[in-house]
Amino acid sequence: MSALPALDLDPFDPEVLRDPLPAHAALRDAGPLVRLARYDTYAIARYADVRAALSDWQSFESSAGVGLTNFRTETPWRPPSLLLEADPPAHDAPRTVLAKILGPRALRRLREDWAADAVSLVDDLLGGRSEVEVDAVPTLAAAFPLRVFPDAVGLRADGREHLLPYGDHAFNAFGPTDNPLVLAGNEHMAEHAGWVGQQCLRENLAPVGFGADIWAAADRGDLTHAQAPLVVRSLLTAGVDTTVHGIGAVLHALAATPGAWDLLRARPELVRVAFDEAVRWESPVQAFFRTTVRDVPVADAVVPAGAKLLVFFAAANRDPRYWADPDAFDLTRDPSGHVGFGMGIHQCVGQHVARLEAESLLTALLARVTRLELTGEPVRHLNNTLRAWDSLPLRLTV
């Protein structure tokens, strides 16, 4: 056995969060399995090893939490998710229910509405002008998901401003609990979490929507009635910030990559590839932890039982051992096989919703906008798990 490489880098350091690519390269190059000395944990960052670990839920459990906090020894900041922070068999009923409610067949009834919503959002933004300069984060990347997703869930109109900060905190909370981003988020979390918790109750959900569908599944016996509110909570936690930052990523990639918008205008059938390539390139969800259920061999080393292992989706998605020219945002590549939505039994159950949102918005933009250009420096939004933009100054030429 060779000695396990140990790195001192802190994946949750603000400077690393600002530009994580050098840290990802260092992790990949150090070896298939690396010790993160600072947190007494392990990390994997190469595509083949990330995929293998994500596929092996029997060895790498999720029910001890997919953040740094080990639920066996420390108290989670909220009751664990029945999907993300669960393993078979408990994981499977909620997963099956949500997979059906959010699946491609179920989404067909939303397609036309979302296409029309996107057209109306873009038309309002352009306001009949031949050119507009906007911050694309609030006006497009955040505006579109917030316009369609809470309605699709069946949320009441007031209080929706709690959704983004609640989700942002949930993704920060996968990092160290004494980290500045987590401490800052703690301040108003009681109000955000209180509102989110209330909206998961049947009486606060519209009679039609994903929320009502979850409660109907409980009535059929596919879930217990005690599980239903926590499954609704998963939608509200995982379904807002992720799509905002995914759409932010694809808009940034298209504006920052010479020729990309022209190519997409010429071949609009590539909108879905464009979104998945942006998810690969940017990895809006950068990494999650797993916990070893016993001593688990990885390459020629062993991860001891009960250890936390940080699985870097973002590093795998740019691993040159797997991808040709991984740092290029390339609409002519096939990005399928990326692990930006994870892999295996926990792979993003909302990915069809995310793709439909992105496709609707990009299609509306492509029909009107001939040029998409950055007019200034985009500004990062730092989060312990998410890769995100706070500000994306764009010029849209009609």
**What is the contact surface with ligand OVM in residues (CB under 6 A)?**
81, 83-84, 170-171, 234, 237-238
We find the least distance from the C-beta atom of residue 128 to ligand OVM, in angstroms, to be: 39
Residue among 367, 392, 384, 370 at smallest CA distance from 278 = 392
Q: How far apart are CA 25 and CA 185, in angstroms?
A: 30
We find the least distance from the C-beta atom of residue 357 to ligand OVM, in angstroms, to be: 16
Residue among 391, 383, 396 at smallest CA distance from 17 = 383
We find the least distance from the C-beta atom of residue 121 to ligand OVM, in angstroms, to be: 26
We find the least distance from the C-beta atom of residue 248 to ligand OVM, in angstroms, to be: 17
Q: Where are the alpha helices (DSSP H) in the chain?
A: 14-18, 21-30, 47-55, 92-101, 104-126, 136, 143-153, 163-172, 180-186, 189-199, 210-220, 228-238, 241-256, 260-266, 271-282, 313-316, 351-366
Of 35 and 308, the one with the shorter C-beta distance to ligand OVM is 308
Of 93 and 170, the one with the shorter C-beta distance to ligand OVM is 170
- Give the count of alpha carbons within 13 A of 49, CB side only: 26
We find the least distance from the C-beta atom of residue 64 to ligand OVM, in angstroms, to be: 15
Let me know: does 99 contact 348? Beta carbons within 8 Å.
no
Let me know: does 134 contact 396? Beta carbons within 8 Å.
yes
- Give the count of alpha carbons within 13 A of 102, CB side only: 26
Of 352 and 368, the one with the shorter C-beta distance to ligand OVM is 352
We find the least distance from the C-beta atom of residue 261 to ligand OVM, in angstroms, to be: 31
Strand partners, 160: none
Residue among 55, 38, 50, 86 at smallest CA distance from 287 = 50
Of 84 and 307, the one with the shorter C-beta distance to ligand OVM is 84
Of 83 and 142, the one with the shorter C-beta distance to ligand OVM is 83
* Element spanning 44, H or E: strand 41-44
Of 318 and 346, the one with the shorter C-beta distance to ligand OVM is 346
Of 35 and 169, the one with the shorter C-beta distance to ligand OVM is 169
We find the least distance from the C-beta atom of residue 164 to ligand OVM, in angstroms, to be: 12
